[in-house]
Structure 1
Amino acid sequence: MSEHLPPEALDEWGAVLRERLGLGPDDLPIDVILDLAADVARGVARPAAPFSAFAAGLAAGLAGGGAEHIRDAVAAVTQLAADWHAS
């Protein structure tokens, strides 16, 4: 078995995660999460991407866990990453 998941398998992996974790279709926006990770990796540092994505998910969950909460948390982290070295 390969150590890395091919990009075309992300939807399948996402479906497995959703099922196992009891999540709905809108609870795991793969593209949004990947964009967040890329923004943090470029704007801050690559190792900051996974825990930044986790922090955004945690914040969204604590705020209620809806799609709007996910968007708000991701936007906040993305803005922080954009501003990280701008000042």
Structure 2
Amino acid sequence: MKSQEETLEEWCRSLLQAYELDDVEIDINEILSLAGVAAHSVVRPAAPLTTFIAGFAAGLASGSGQATQAASMDAALGLARTLAQDYTNPGTDAG
């Protein structure tokens, strides 16, 4: 039986191949970490939303030539992480 890590790596490779993005490097642990920050700092459903938007922003930056794929991904993930960490949910007493 495959471990969760092996399954995620295989799934990631399958997705990248299906989208013809074989040359794109994905740091699965960084993506999962960002999802965890968003889920705990905002609300749980913010996890997939945050990672999707960060990935989309990275793709736009990279595709427009603003930065390399790696730099675009690092910048997008970093910004999303900072925003999520700094988020104060108006529905809580924390703000």
Q: Same fold per TM (> 0.5)? A: yes
Computed over aligned residues only, the root mean square deviation of the Cα atoms, in angstroms, reads 1.6
Calculate the TM-score normalised by the size of structure 2: 0.77
- The runs of at least 4 aligned residues of structure 1 exceeding 2 Å deviation read none
Displacement of 1:11 in angstroms is: 0.9
Structure 1, unaligned stretches of length 5 or more? 1-5
Deviations 1:21-74 (A, max 9, x none): 111241x32111111100100111110111111100111011115011001000
- What is the distance in 2 between the residues matched to 1:25 and 1:61? 10
- Please give the TM-score of this superposition, normalised by the length of structure 1: 0.83
Give the total of aligned pairs: 81
Aligned to 1:3: none
Distance in 2 (alpha carbons) for counterparts of 1:57 and 1:42: 19
Partners in 1 of 2:13 and 2:60 — Cα distance? 23
Give the percent of matched residue pairs that are identical in Structure 1 and Structure 2.
Answer: 41
Q: Structure 2, unaligned stretches of length 5 or more?
A: 64-68, 89-93
